[in-house]
Amino acid sequence: MTVYDDEILGKAYDGRLVRRLLGFVWPYKWELTLAILLMVGSALVELVPPYLIRTAIDGPIAQGNVAGVWPIFYLYVVTLVLSFVFRYLQTYMMQSMSQRVIIDIRMAIFRHIQRMSLGFFDRNPVGRLLTRITNDVDALNDFITQGTVALLGDLVRLLFIVMTMLVLSWRLALVAFLMFPIVIISTIIFQRIMRTTYRVMRQRLARINAYLNEQITGVLVTQLFRRETQSRHFFAEISREYLQSQFRSNNTFAVFFPTIYITSVMATAVLLTFGGQLVLNEYVTIGLLVAFIQYTDQAFQPIRQLADRYNTLQSAMASSERVFRVLDTPEDIKDPAQPHHLATPVRGEIAFQNVVFGYNPDEPVLKGVSFTIPAGQAVAVVGATGAGKTSLVSLMARFYDIQQGTITLDGIDIRAITQHTLRQHVGAVPQDPTCFSGTIRDNIRLHDHTIDDARVLWAAEISGAATFIQKLPGTYDYEVRERGSNLSVGQRQLLAFARAMAFNPEVLLILDEATSSVDTETEQVMQVAVQRLLKNRTSLVIAHRLSTIRYVDRILVLHRGKLVEDGTHEELLALNGYYARLYRLQYAEQLGGQSSE
Amino acid sequence: MNQLQALWPYVYKYRWRYLLGLLCNTVQIVFTVLVPQVIREIVNEINTRGIIWDDLIGAALKMLGIATVVFVLSFITRVLVLGTAHQVEGDVREAMFHKLLSLDQRFFGEHHTGDLMTRVTNDLSAIRQFFGPGVQQFGAVLMIIFSSALMISTDLTLSLIVLGLLPAVTVLFIVVGARMRDIFRKVQDLFGEVSTRAQENFSGIRTIKAYTQEEPETAEFLRVNERFRAQNVRYVLLSGLLWPVISLVLGIIGSLVLLIGGQKVADGQLTIGDLVLFNSYLAALGWPVVALGWTVDLYQQAVSAAGRIGEVLQRKPHIRDDDGHGAINHTIAGSIAFDNVGVAVGTGHEQRWILRNISFTVTEGQTVAIVGATGGGKTTLVNLLARVQDPSEGTVCVDGIDIRSMSLASLRQGIGYVPQDTFLFSVPVRENVTFGRPDATDAEVEQALHISRLSNDIVQLPAGIDTLVGERGVTLSGGQKQRTAIARAVLRNPAILVLDDALSSVDTHTAAQILEGLRNFRKGRTAIIIAQRIATVRDADLIILLRDGHIAEMGSHETLIGQGGLYTAMYQREMLADEVDNA
């Protein structure tokens, strides 16, 4: 089993990263300033209640002045209400600001990813990109809310309390501070232990989840191959490992919480003993002693939280490191600074000149390919798997950039025009037809609202998709589920054709599916659709089905990255070369495997 | 409560640990409430100057003594009660997994993977929260009762103020908490939408780029994000309120204690120590009253979680060994007989037959092909054989035995099944191939790889046959996956081999080679092959043409062609496509 562990733990503070993060916060500097002011206000207000108690005890209460307690009570209530308002406003300001920052960051990542070439998507699985844009951005939210203002807030609170205590009575303050080292040390020790324990726990839980997900998805295979016992044993093993780490965490907490309790009782005991002596010696009043018990308690809270913030910062740093790595990935396919324009109307003549390309530059897939396709010609590309057929289509749409040579559209190098212009005129129907969640209509026109309903209907009609769409409940408003899971492969393919028709590009690139998982009837509908698509249009078809080839004007034969034959079906058969061999082989197979030998 | 009963046995098993834990908790609470009493004494004596240094030390040691007892007892409570809750969670997790492995496809068709995952993870952790912290916090009740008794014995008026107003905190927590949970669920739903949008975009990036939809997609993503943010702000408006408002209520109680208590002290009815005592109890009770509200919340969540968990635990698999007569253990030779088999879905008016009146026999070693348009019932038919599902009527016999009376183990042992949707585990290729035969020798594995034409591909993988498959490893192509699944089935050396459209992602050339390899392997073995094209299975001993759940035609290729029916028409259509090419 593999463990999903994307955690890199490093420094809790990295100046470079923090500066970049603050760059995202900067536009909201006024909201941030206000939040900080509110925080300082609430820290100040919180100092008042213990002081009021002191005043009451040493003043009216000690003097037996019953009516004298009232003004203190009023002040007390005002303080409480102020504290409530400050705290609430500060939380609200802070959270709503951080939500804005988070969306800015998420959109920045999304926009950047949109600009990446397909090579980037080949290197980064969808799951990883998704983690960047969800979990990692979430961790950054923690950085903003807990790492900046809250961290500052804890420090300010602690500082205010310490100062107040020193001002009120330095002797009593020193007595109270006696307990601080114990709280600080025990908190640090606890945090150290918990950090590793939490990490182990998370890893083990992730392992359980990954295994569970796989076992539920593949349960039929496990059952058919009688592997239930082994699976159960393995699950019990990883489940118990997780349980062990849970026990460890529980035991740590079982020590920590009572420790907090015992230190707070000790703090009170120390204050009463030494402070009591100070009262007896008339250095301090009894009211101040009572107030100090509360101040000491108030001081413990930020100390404990400071240690917690450390962990948050640490994981936020790791997340921002990953997020910035994505944002720093350079655009490998760039639009030219001064793009050329295509002469209108676009004719659709394409030419490859000595094109060399490899996904990895050291291993070229195309090794110097040249050909010209005049406007309106339909061309099929054939060749064995790995001959470079798919690359040809990807290059024409500039999904990747070539290493040598040129590719031109109407005589203009495709690198000299913007990708947007290029793809408006060069449409690619991908091999694996993609569907998006949304209506059938949305799947045909995507977000392009210049394509009206009439055009959608026409495109569906022409591509043969209309027949199955009519039968769906709600027809064009039928909701397609994620990845088109409620449509068959054939239907998805037809929908992709309809989409291509709706956008009506001058040059069409089609990747013909290699599967045979479409039944004969759908297959025939698709053949008709392809035929219509190719009509009067420059097209490059990667053909797997022999039947597709009969509609094209010309066939290019690729073999190991080189163009080996070029001509019409008849010409190539007469040539009796590679194509003729390939054709005979496939023809025989499609007739029946047994006659191939 | 009814729903929680499903989990009772798992909790009852650890009853002694729970009881001991709760006992420790009770004693610990008794000691905890004593601390303010000591504080009162000291404060009073300091105030009246009736104390000397030695007394102060003595009182401090008394407090430390109590705190030490509380420390030890609350450690034991946590280890026992909370630790046991983890143990219960682990036990139920294993039980659920065990149950899931025994359930049939009907169950998995009804529940999404994500839904089942949630039950084993989130729902289970709600259970742990209730049986751990939830149970421990029942102690809050004791805490409140003991403290109340001690407060009332000091001063009734002040006690009434404190005890009358404290429940407001509990109610506040329950009310605001419930509302928060509602809104939070909406926040999570919208977050799911954000994540789905991103995922769809990344997976369909080729299409998005091909149609230059990057800008509109970004605008759409921003729109979803803004909706998420708006909902989140709504959540913050409420959640940001919770703690400040609880502090406010507690603070107001404190101010009233100062007012009334202060006046009483000034009047001589109470001592300063009594006032400090009330302050201490108020501080000590702040958390228990919140915890009480939290426990109510935990209970509600645990009940609904237990309902969902119970649904899994109490589910009876439809397909299981015949427990009535004792399942027969039998080594399968390979003859198959379907006798008037039918499969229906739905009941009453909604009932629809997917398969009906299916009867045919296959003798040992024969190859049967099943052809027909999509939706004709081909997969359902082969599923009956391995008891992935059971027929609604009629019987399926293997070697003359009704497969429902055979043990599932021996039935499935004899069948090598390659399902339509290939599923590989994220383990090395070797483990995937040896999945049904962990004891296979290298030579056997080699042979299986050869038959499925996987050998050449494996050489090209980064770590050969030990290359890891899946998200964290190498992504195999559709064809490679299917061939791995074929190797997996072949390696089991089954008496019956079932291929459900298992070559759909393999290119035609390789497919022909695999079929050729399988032909030798099939000798003496029964094979059932579902195919989209007749050409691939022309040489089968028996061809069954399924149409709308019925056997439309059945016989050898020659016989069926001779009949000039549907099969002939299908075959001619296939031929025609190729003839045009040839012209």
What phi and psi, each to the nearest 5 degrees, are found at residue B550? -120, 155
pLDDT tens digits for range B59-103: 999 999 999 999 999 999 999 999 999 999 999 999 999 999 999
CA angle A293/A295/A296 to nearest 5° reads 65
Phi and psi based region of residue A422 (left: phi greater than 0; alpha: psi -120 to 50; beta: remaining): alpha
Q: What is the pLDDT of residue B256?
A: 94
Contact B244 A223 (CB under 8 A): no
B82 with A250: Cβ contact below 8 A: yes
Q: Looking at residues B2-11, what average pLDDT do you find?
A: 89
B200 in reach of chain A (CB within 8 A):
yes
Which residue from B56, B82, B423 is facing A221, i.e. has the nearest CB?
B423
Residues in B 6-65 with any Cβ partner in A closer than 8 A: 35, 39, 42-43, 46-47, 49, 51, 53, 56-57, 59-60, 63-64
Q: Which of A164-173, A534-543, B215-224, B312-321 has the lowest mean pLDDT?
A: A534-543
Whether chain A has a CB inside 8 Å of the CB on B211: the answer is yes
Q: What is the pLDDT along chain A (597 residues), one digit of tens a residue?
A: 333 444 445 666 778 888 888 899 999 999 999 999 999 999 999 999 999 999 999 989 988 888 889 999 999 999 999 999 999 999 999 988 999 999 999 999 999 998 888 888 887 878 788 888 888 888 888 888 877 788 888 999 999 999 999 999 999 999 999 888 988 898 889 888 888 888 899 889 988 988 998 898 888 888 888 888 999 999 999 999 999 999 999 999 999 989 988 998 999 999 999 999 998 888 899 999 999 999 998 898 888 888 778 777 877 888 888 889 889 988 888 888 888 887 778 888 888 988 888 887 777 888 888 888 888 888 888 876 666 777 888 888 888 888 888 898 888 888 888 888 888 888 877 666 777 878 888 888 888 888 888 888 888 888 878 878 887 787 888 888 777 767 777 778 788 888 888 887 877 777 665 444 566 666 777 777 777 777 778 888 887 666 667 778 888 888 878 888 888 888 888 888 888 777 776 655 544 433 332
CB atoms within 10 A of CB B185: 11
pLDDT in tens, B415-443: 988 888 788 888 889 999 998 888 889 99
Measured between alpha carbons, how far apart are the two ends of chain A, in Å?
Answer: 43
**pLDDT at residue number A89:** 94
Q: In this predicted structure, what is the pLDDT of residue B457?
A: 82
Which residue of B lies nearest to A3 if distances are taken between CA atoms?
B472
Q: Which residue of A has its CA nearest to B420?
A: A517
Identify which of B397, B312, B398 has the alpha carbon closest to the alpha carbon of residue B102: B312
The reported pLDDT for the residue numbered B34 is 92
Share of chain B above pLDDT 70, in %: 96
Instruction: Chain B: give the shortest CA distance to residue A68, in Å.
Output: 9
**Cα–Cα distance for residue pair B302/A94, rounded to 1 Å:** 33
Nearest-angstrom CA–CA distance, B537 and B555: 13
What is the structure's pLDDT at A384? 67
CA A212 to chain B, closest CA, distance in angstroms equals: 7
Which residues of chain B does A114 touch, with a Cβ-Cβ cutoff of 8 Å? 201, 208, 214, 217-218
What's the CA gap between A299 and A304, in Å, rounded?
9
Q: What is the mean pLDDT of chain B?
A: 88
Taking alpha carbons only, the member of A314, A317, A322 closest to residue A16 is A317
A352, A414 contact by CB (below 8 A): no
C-alpha A272/C-alpha A292 separation (Å) is 10
Q: B473 and chain A: CB distance < 8 Å anywhere?
A: yes
What order of strands is seen across the sheet that includes strand A507-511? A426-429, A507-511, A538-542, A378-382, A554-559, A562-567
Phi (first) and psi of residue A388, to 5 degrees: 110, 15
Residue B545 sits at the vertex; the CA angle it makes with A470 and B369, to the nearest 5 degrees, is 120
Mean pLDDT within B283-299: 89
Q: Do B204 and A589 touch (CB under 8 A)?
A: no
B240 touches chain A (CB under 8 A): yes
User: Does any CB of chain A come closer than 8 Å to the CB of residue B224?
Assistant: no
State pLDDT tens for residues B30-70: 999 999 999 999 999 888 887 788 888 999 999 999 999 99
Taking alpha carbons only, the member of A318, A319, A310, A331 closest to residue A106 is A319
In chain B, positions 397-436, which contact chain A (CB-CB < 8 Å)?
409, 412-413, 415, 417, 419, 423-427, 435-436
Closest alpha carbon to A154 in A17, A21, A313, A382 = A313
Q: Using 50, 70 and 90 to split pLDDT, how confident is the model at B582?
A: very low
B578 and A CB contact within 8 Å: yes
Which stretches within A218-280 are classed as H helix? 219-224, 228-270, 276-280
Model pTM score:
0.81
In the structure, what pLDDT confidence band is assigned to residue B580 with cuts at 50, 70 and 90?
very low
pLDDT digits (tens, 9 = 90+) for B535-552: 778 888 999 999 888 999
DSSP B468: B
Chain A segment 519-548 residues within 8 A of B by beta carbon are 519-522, 524, 527, 544, 546-547
Smallest CA–CA separation between B329 and chain A, in Å? 14
Q: Which residues contact B374 (CB under 8 A, 6 or more apart)?
A: A488, A490, A519, A522
Query: Do A428 and A472 meet the contact criterion of CB atoms below 8 Å apart?
Result: no
Asked whether the beta carbons of residue B43 and residue A290 sit closer than 8 angstroms, the reply is: yes
Of A88, A91, A590, nearest to B508 by CB-CB distance is: A590
Q: Is B232 on the interface with A (CB under 8 A)?
A: yes
CB A145 within 8 A of CB A98: yes
B453 touches chain A (CB under 8 A): no
